[in-house]
Structure 1
Amino acid sequence: MDMLQQRVAKQAWGVRAAWLVLALLAALYCGWRFAGPSPLETNLLALLPATEADPVAEKAVDTLASALGDRTVLLVTSRDDAHAKAAAKQLGAALGKSGAFASVIAELPPFDLSQIAVLYQPYRFGLLAPADRATLANPGATTLHDMLAQRIYSPLQGGLSTPLADDPFGWLERWLGGLPLATSNLDVEDNLLVSHRNDAHGDTTSVLIVATLPGSAYETKTQRAVHAALADAEGALRERFPDVTVARAGAVFYAEAARSASEREVHLIGLASLGGIALLMMWVFRSPRLLLLGFVSTALGIVCALAATLLIFGKLHLLTLVFGASLIGEAVDYSIQYFVVYLGAGRDWDARRGARMVRPALTVALATSLLGYAILMWVPFPALKQIACFAMVGIATAFASVLWLLPALLTRAPKRSPQRVFAGAARLLAGWQRVLGGKRAWWGAALLLIVAIPGWLRLTSDDDIHLLIQRDASLVAQEDKVRAAVGVDNSAQFFVVRGATGEAVLQRAEALGARLDALNGTANGVGGYQSVAQFVPSAQRQNADRALLAQHVFDDPAALRATLLQAGFKDEVADAWLAAYARPQAPLSVGQWLAAPWSQPYRHLWLGAVQADSAHGANNATEATGAGYAAVVIPQGVTPRNEPALIALAHDLPGVVFVDKAASVSKLFGAYRVDSGWWLGGALVLVGVLLMLRYRVRGGLATTLPVLLAVGVALAVFGYAGVPLNLFNWLALMLVLGVGANYAVFLREGCLRAEADLGAVWTGVLLSAATTLLSFGMLGMSEMPALRSFGTTLALGIAVSVLLAPLGMPARMPAPASSESRRAA
């Protein structure tokens, strides 16, 4: 006997050592990951799936997000013009010295606008404005002499002017005037970008400051540095200029706000769940040791889940982190079931035997939970895949620790047993079972379904992504203020233009631009747009313009020279201009434009070489597979009213697609919301089959009925309350199925054990449900709308499933042995 005890003790120490090594490895890996660059993903776009059929469209989304993500814009506003400008200079200088930004531009550096004209001058004979093109095509309307006189005697123009000797007819100057360089309300005053506005309270002056970040806006280090620098700079600004306000816009501010909010929620949900679960377990079990062991099992599950998620995905989304804090309640359920058997055994406790007793119930419960989470793995949302991975590893680890680690730690018999609590629970179960039991159960279920039907008929849905990703209201207000002052709308829609060659892309972009210009003046007009073809016309267009000049201007060089001399041009000037036209000149290319330093703010318009697939959305033209080129055309003033016309326009043009990321995601949300209803139905069938294999047909149906009714009641409540459903409500119902089915399983398995104390079993079920409600229910208080929908649905479904769990109890049960008879045995 002594040898057997020594062998058992040695095995117990081996199990403890193995689990300790696993915990240390997982903890060290997590610590190493968090010690370096933060693995936390604060980019809200990372939550979203790739919604476009064309991967080039997704590349365009990423390119634009990247181009805008590293920019930070500050707007310094005051009713005193001098104060606004002085405050902007002070703020810009302070931020520049802080080291938090790669660059800060408050006062504009000297810039010679002629640099822009220098790029285009060699190619000027292939660059005609639409009005000049129309004039030259109709030579009878205006003579060359008239055009030359208009150029010579017109008032001097500011902006992008050209020397008279290089551009005697002004064709290049007028073409340069059409470049989309100034698309805002800003003017340059005292080397500052200034906007003057008049509102109900009087005139205001706003000065724009533009800064770039040294790293990603979604890096915690960058966010904290920017936050600290702005806090110090604005504090100093308020002391000297109390009348000045500062509005900010930029991805870094939203990322920092999301990270801070998530950290607060992790602490709130984690601590509240931990505290509530600890109080409940202490009240029921009256044992600090059991409380500690329960949290050991849970901690193992969470640290292993965290390590596995980081190892597989590389990043940890904030949504996963907040959800992970709520996993405490489910992971501790398995420990609770083991502790109930432990306390119910009294002095006859055998750790291995106790593990064998709870193994069937925990195995069935684990299978149903894994099924619920596994369905999330099929949804193409990166954050949901992370949540599924986190949860599956976490509960599987908790399950394994209950069956192998806890028996090695809980070898001694309990000193006391909460018989009063168990006895009270037994009476409560008996009374509640009398209400639900027998034929009344089926009649009650039928009545519940009848009452639920009107609620189902009132169900509505709302898949708008903006309702699920809520941005900080204060930052949104500041961003709107910046946009209103600058004069740029909040459009996130654009066109992607593709072609087999760069020339094909430019030609298609020009065709698109012509169609957009035609819309102006109608109800569907967009005002302006930005396109790479405005900066670099296609070779076809440049050659056509040059051919137009050859036909109507340079067809008689002698007469043209005489016209120039008659207008007062010197011989050498006229000869130099005519010689410049005569020299062969290849058309201006996109590569030459990209090489110009001043093109930097517009380079995101050219996506360049891309891996082409079939032209998704290009309707009447299909690109050959292989390499291709793409560009972006960004219209201004896109509204719900004119968006259908823009979509139709894209359908009419080959190689053009209209991209609206938010609308695409919302559409995908709707499609998967519908699909999730079928998934839920299929999962219910699978769970029912699984339970029927375990408990036979009648028992399986009875055990499935509580969670089936819980799903139905939850849907009816949302219908009666008028709450629109979204994808996250349906995904939560998947977990209601996976988690809620456990309670009927735990209760039925307890009934099948002849030596089980049903009061103890029911206590464990109620305690498990309470801990799950404390954790998942806390998600209903989240500031993230998606998590709030998730948590509310889970809390409602779990509450109903535990209340109806006695429906799954067998009609005939073995008589439970009393604690006295077990001790006598």
Structure 2
Amino acid sequence: MDLLARERLVRQRWGIRAAWLVLALAAALFCAWRFAASSPLQTNLLELLPETEADPVAEKAVDTLAAALGERTVFVVTSRDAGHAKTAAVDLAAMLTASGAFRSVTAKLPPFDLSQIGTLYLPYRFGLLTPADRAALTDGSLTLHDALARRLYNPLRGGLATPLADDPFGWLEHWLAALPLATSNLDIEDGLLVAHRGDATSVLVVATLPGSAYETKVEQAVLRAVSRGDAQLRTQFPDVSLARTGAVFYAQAARSAAERDVHLIAAVSVFGIALLMLWIFRSPRLLALGFVSTALGIVCALAATLLVFGKLHLVTLVFGASLIGEAVDYSIQYFVVYLGAARSTRERWNPWRGARAVRPALTVALTTSLLGYAILACVPFPALRQIACFAIVGLCAAFASVLTLLPALLPHAPKRDSRRLFDAAARLLASWQRCLGGPRAWLVAALLLIVSAPGWLRLSGDDDIHLLVQRDASLAAQEQTIRVAIGVDNTAQFFVVRAETPEIVLQRAEALGVALDRLGDTQSTGGWQSVTSFVPSAQRQADDRTLLAHRVFDDPAALRATLIAAGFRDSVADAWLAAYRQSANAGPLTLDRWLAAPWSRPFRHLWLGATDTASHGYAAIVIPQRVTDANRHSLEAVAHASSGVVFVDKAASVSKLFGEYRAYSMIWLAGALVLVLLLSMFRYGLHGGATVMLPVLLAVVVTLAVFGYARIPLNLFNCLALMLVLGVGSNYAVFLREGCVRDGADLGAVWTGVLLSAATTLLSFGTLGASSMPALHSFGVTLALGIAVSALLAPIGMPAHSRRTA
């Protein structure tokens, strides 16, 4: 080679190195900038879930409730000594307030004038009747004289008592007493919200966050504050226990679990792969270059995912750590060709010729892998789409770096001859091929099918939502303790009521409430929350006013005489009658007036308001107090029979979607198998393509059988992992087949690369099986089993007469 040509090659090598360096720096700087500004990591478990409702308003309702509950953090201080519980609760509130981690902390209730509630409803009192008062007036079971006497001589008056002059018959007082302002076991004692269960006293402390529960800074500040507060309480009051719940604690627990998984998977993968590559290649330089290629793939994948999605879920990060094993496969195949050159072509080693030699095998391998991940991208789960994006970009970057950067970094022939290792591998391959190859391949396939068939018959499915997310057991136990203590059965199931106008929404919500109240004892919800409990529809208010007009105010003179006979002064009776006449001009109580009242804030989530649909309608939420397996079907039937009403159960919807996509995924898997088979036949001919695909097909068959024999229910993530078994597992037979048709290839070196690739992939994907995230655990177990079987059966794909070229 003349001097000019050598200089041109040197410039080319340095140009390629510089281009990859610029790309790596740009991707790394972009990632650093995104993490420096505000952490793009997502810990919100709801972000993992797809939009399962066909009605976008239902999804808005889910988001509204999540937002309403997300900023709220609840603590319950419990002790058998009531005094200790109350004092500890006050001290805890003071410590949390002083920490600055919360926007507000409430233990002692601020003074509140309950008359503010009565003041809102007073001008509209002649259109507000409870169902009991309405029924009594309708059927005449209670005369006005008896109602007045009961009102005058009733010694028990609630906190929302109304003046006799404004409400002589007590109808407004009954209405106010029926408001669902408190639906728990809590009572007010010494200005605190207290619940008594047996000999234990529990005191409620409520705090609100200064920002999102899923922001890292908020999580860390809250965790530090609560840890310090809990430690001080244990020191001062050893008999006191503290339970806590809130989205911020679940988010922090999920973040910690994911970070542990990332560290474990990355450490095991990197350390294990490094040991294997050093043992096989005996070259720290090749080890470093292999990780350079993998690191380029991961940093490019990270930058692309942040660019496309703006956020990065921790599930994606955990899965990305496991991608190390697959991405390093490409560099391993190049190193095998590189070391194989030492046997006979040391002086004539051409790095670009080596890249061209390995390119067909890597291209086929990349294509099958991308097919598997592309199907993940089509599934409507945000986390899976992020994983697919991360993997596709990462593998493409690793592939490109192997074919361009590694030749630029390995211009000279290897100094070490791996003859002994490759010869041993060639003998092992020859022996194993004699057992599996040729006509025996179909016999092996038939035997595996026969052995696997009983396992298939034992297969079952499990589509529970907890396969996607698993809440921290300690936090779940504390949440249950809080629910039991305060008597609130929090539920994620509710009704969404829609209509063209707010008035029709209220009317439909009222009709829904009547239908729910009619359910039998076993089907009963135990009550419900609705905006109509605070603001009846204008039609209902008009009907109540009409009822009063016919039953009470039809004879003003007789009514006035009844009031005076009961002891009311003339001026009081006349003022009340005048208020009735004037109320006709006031109009009904409106939603806007109620929403404007400060005390309505805890209940505003019940009104969704205007929706962003084409019909420009309105919507509200009705929340049943108790939803069980016994009454769920009845609630769905009530919603189906009610106009404009849908029953929303996010967990059930996601589980149903899991089941549907699990069934679809098997169809997708069959279609992908056919597609890859056609590609293989195009490349290797009819018989060659079939034998190349046989190992991975048998791997899928065996994996399903193992799950059946082990009585492990299949879920969506097992099925989707089989797509990756197809994409990754088919590579090994492809590598061997390409080695057989490549001039000058050393099959012992190729088999060494296949075993090393399988081992590194098992190290990375296999560690997913130890993940605390159920979805990733399912992925890992399935991938590990499928890839192991694919690698062991890979020699089936070799031509019947293969020999190692020296």
Which TM-score tier does this pair reach, normalised by the shorter chain? over 0.9
CA distance in 1, matches of 2:89, 2:629: 36
Counterpart selection for 2:289 from 284, 293, 298: 293
Q: Secondary structure at the match of 1:210?
A: strand
How far off is 1:611 after superposition? Answer: 2.7
Q: AA paired with 2:577?
A: L
CA distance in 2, matches of 1:631, 1:666: 25
Query: Cα deviation per residue 1:805-825 (whole Å; 9 max; x = unaligned)?
Result: 000001233x5442xxxxxxx
Quote the residue 1:394 is aligned against.
394
Query: Cα deviation per residue 1:788-809 (whole Å; 9 max; x = unaligned)?
Result: 1110000000000000000000
Quote the residue 2:744 is aligned against.
755
CA distance in 1, matches of 2:87, 2:417: 75
Mapping of residues 123-138 of structure 1, within 5 Å = 123-138=124-139
User: Contact 1:691 / 1:700 at 8 angstroms: preserved in 2?
Assistant: yes
User: Contact 2:437 / 2:797 at 8 angstroms: preserved in 1?
Assistant: no
User: Contact 2:724 / 2:783 at 8 angstroms: preserved in 1?
Assistant: yes
Q: Secondary structure at the match of 1:611?
A: coil
How far off is 1:510 after superposition? Answer: 0.4
CA distance in 2, matches of 1:138, 1:817: 102
Query: Cα deviation per residue 1:702-737 (whole Å; 9 max; x = unaligned)?
Result: 100000000000001101111000000000000000
Q: Secondary structure at the match of 2:204?
A: strand
Quote the residue 1:336 is aligned against.
332
Q: Secondary structure at the match of 2:612?
A: strand
User: Residue 531 in 1 paired to residue 526 in 2?
Assistant: no
Mapping of residues 314-333 of structure 1, within 5 Å = 314-333=310-329
Q: AA paired with 1:602?
A: F
CA distance in 2, matches of 1:528, 1:759: 73
Counterpart selection for 2:259 from 248, 259, 263: 263
How far off is 1:522 after superposition? Answer: 2.1
Q: AA paired with 1:408?
A: A
Q: Secondary structure at the match of 1:169?
A: coil
How far off is 1:142 after superposition? Answer: 2.6
Quote the residue 1:542 is aligned against.
541
Quote the residue 1:477 is aligned against.
477
How far off is 1:417 after superposition? Answer: 2.4
Quote the residue 1:616 is aligned against.
none
How far off is 1:226 after superposition? Answer: 0.3
Mapping of residues 173-184 of structure 1, within 5 Å = 173-184=173-184
Q: Secondary structure at the match of 1:109?
A: coil
CA distance in 2, matches of 1:143, 1:433: 99
Quote the residue 1:166 is aligned against.
166
Quote the residue 1:39 is aligned against.
40
User: Residue 121 in 1 paired to residue 122 in 2?
Assistant: yes
Q: AA paired with 2:149?
A: A
User: Residue 91 in 1 paired to residue 87 in 2?
Assistant: no
Quote the residue 2:377 is aligned against.
377
Q: AA paired with 1:322?
A: V
How far off is 1:132 after superposition? Answer: 1.0
How far off is 1:570 after superposition? Answer: 1.4
Quote the residue 1:149 is aligned against.
149
CA distance in 1, matches of 2:336, 2:500: 69
How far off is 1:469 after superposition? Answer: 1.6
User: Contact 2:466 / 2:774 at 8 angstroms: preserved in 1?
Assistant: no
How far off is 1:37 after superposition? Answer: 1.4
CA distance in 2, matches of 1:523, 1:271: 54
CA distance in 1, matches of 2:36, 2:360: 41
Q: AA paired with 1:178?
A: A
Query: Cα deviation per residue 1:277-323 (whole Å; 9 max; x = unaligned)?
Result: 00000000000000000000000000000000000001101110100
How far off is 1:137 after superposition? Answer: 1.2
Q: AA paired with 2:455?
A: G
Query: Cα deviation per residue 1:424-452 (whole Å; 9 max; x = unaligned)?
Result: 11111011011112211111111111111
CA distance in 2, matches of 1:352, 1:665: 50
Counterpart selection for 1:278 from 271, 274, 279: 274
How far off is 1:159 after superposition? Answer: 1.8
CA distance in 2, matches of 1:302, 1:586: 65
| Percent identity between the two aligned chains | 72
User: Residue 695 in 1 paired to residue 691 in 2?
Assistant: no
Q: AA paired with 1:809?
A: M
User: Contact 1:755 / 1:816 at 8 angstroms: preserved in 2?
Assistant: no
How far off is 1:421 after superposition? Answer: 1.4
How far off is 1:45 after superposition? Answer: 0.8
Q: Secondary structure at the match of 2:158?
A: coil
CA distance in 1, matches of 2:76, 2:195: 10
- Distance of aligned partners of 1:19 and 1:467 in 2 relative to their CA distance in 1, 3 Å threshold: closer
How far off is 1:108 after superposition? Answer: 0.7
Mapping of residues 331-730 of structure 1, within 5 Å = 331-346=327-342, 347=346, 348-519=348-519, 521-583=520-582, 584-612=585-613, 625-730=614-719
User: Contact 2:158 / 2:177 at 8 angstroms: preserved in 1?
Assistant: no
Query: Cα deviation per residue 1:457-516 (whole Å; 9 max; x = unaligned)?
Result: 111001011243211100000000000001011321101111110000000000011111
Quote the residue 1:7 is aligned against.
8
User: Contact 1:78 / 1:206 at 8 angstroms: preserved in 2?
Assistant: yes
CA distance in 2, matches of 1:223, 1:409: 45
Quote the residue 2:62 is aligned against.
61
Q: Secondary structure at the match of 2:524?
A: coil
Q: AA paired with 1:684?
A: L
User: Contact 2:43 / 2:314 at 8 angstroms: preserved in 1?
Assistant: yes
Q: AA paired with 1:401?
A: S
Query: Cα deviation per residue 1:210-237 (whole Å; 9 max; x = unaligned)?
Result: 0000111111111001001111111111
CA distance in 2, matches of 1:703, 1:439: 14
Mapping of residues 219-230 of structure 1, within 5 Å = 219-230=215-226
Q: AA paired with 2:759?
A: A
CA distance in 2, matches of 1:467, 1:169: 57
Counterpart selection for 1:766 from 735, 748, 755: 755
Q: Secondary structure at the match of 1:463?
A: coil
How far off is 1:557 after superposition? Answer: 1.2
User: Contact 1:754 / 1:816 at 8 angstroms: preserved in 2?
Assistant: no
Unaligned 5+ segments in structure 1 are 613-624, 819-825
CA distance in 2, matches of 1:135, 1:206: 40
CA distance in 2, matches of 1:650, 1:4: 79
Q: AA paired with 1:434?
A: R
User: Contact 1:95 / 1:230 at 8 angstroms: preserved in 2?
Assistant: yes
Query: Cα deviation per residue 1:522-545 (whole Å; 9 max; x = unaligned)?
Result: 211111110001100000000000
Please report the TM-score for the alignment, with normalisation by the length of structure 2: 0.98
Q: Secondary structure at the match of 1:469?
A: coil
CA distance in 1, matches of 2:490, 2:565: 53
How far off is 1:754 after superposition? Answer: 2.8
**How many equivalent residue pairs?**
799
Question: Which stretches of structure 1, 4 residues or more, deviate above 6 A after TM superposition?
Answer: none
User: Contact 1:425 / 1:762 at 8 angstroms: preserved in 2?
Assistant: yes
User: Contact 1:349 / 1:412 at 8 angstroms: preserved in 2?
Assistant: yes
Quote the residue 1:821 is aligned against.
none
How far off is 1:753 after superposition? Answer: 1.5
Q: Secondary structure at the match of 1:380?
A: coil
Please report the TM-score for the alignment, with normalisation by the length of structure 1: 0.96
CA distance in 1, matches of 2:17, 2:706: 47
CA distance in 2, matches of 1:138, 1:193: 40
CA distance in 2, matches of 1:382, 1:606: 28
Q: AA paired with 2:165?
A: A
CA distance in 2, matches of 1:341, 1:216: 53
Quote the residue 1:195 is aligned against.
195
User: Contact 1:501 / 1:629 at 8 angstroms: preserved in 2?
Assistant: yes
User: Contact 1:294 / 1:335 at 8 angstroms: preserved in 2?
Assistant: yes
User: Contact 2:516 / 2:524 at 8 angstroms: preserved in 1?
Assistant: yes
